[in-house]
Amino acid sequence: MESGKESMKKRHKRWLGWLKTPHPANDRELIYKIVVDEIRNGGTFVYLYLAPDAVRSSYDEYYFNTEDAMEGWQNEIDEQGWIPLPEPPEAAYDLIFRE
């Protein structure tokens, strides 16, 4: 049986995707990378990052499922493909870090 701490540790599945070319966020800002964040029993968020070195997102989008989110961005992602990310710190779901 999983302890509460172990089950919380597995609440998110996340993938980083670098865009082949910057994608417009609006009339004056560009998206350079995204993170797809699948939240167990809670849908999927796509976090949008406006600088190559950004570690926190500026915008997000909500999808009902991960497949739709990843499929919607698949043609924009560079040759590295989807890069798995570790579980985020509590209340910092858009934070990019690596183990």
In a domain, 41, yes or no: yes
Q: Which residues pair with 24 in a beta bridge?
A: 30
In a domain, 74, yes or no: yes
pLDDT at 2 over 50: no
In a domain, 45, yes or no: yes
In a domain, 93, yes or no: no
Q: Which domain holds residue 28?
A: 12-85
In a domain, 2, yes or no: no
pLDDT in tens, 4-62: 454 445 688 999 999 999 999 999 999 999 999 998 878 899 999 999 999 999 999 99
In a domain, 30, yes or no: yes
In a domain, 60, yes or no: yes
How many domains does the chain fold into?
1
Per-residue burial over 68-95, b if 16 or more Cβ lie within 10 Å, else e, is ebbeebeeebeeeebeebeebeeeebbe
In a domain, 63, yes or no: yes
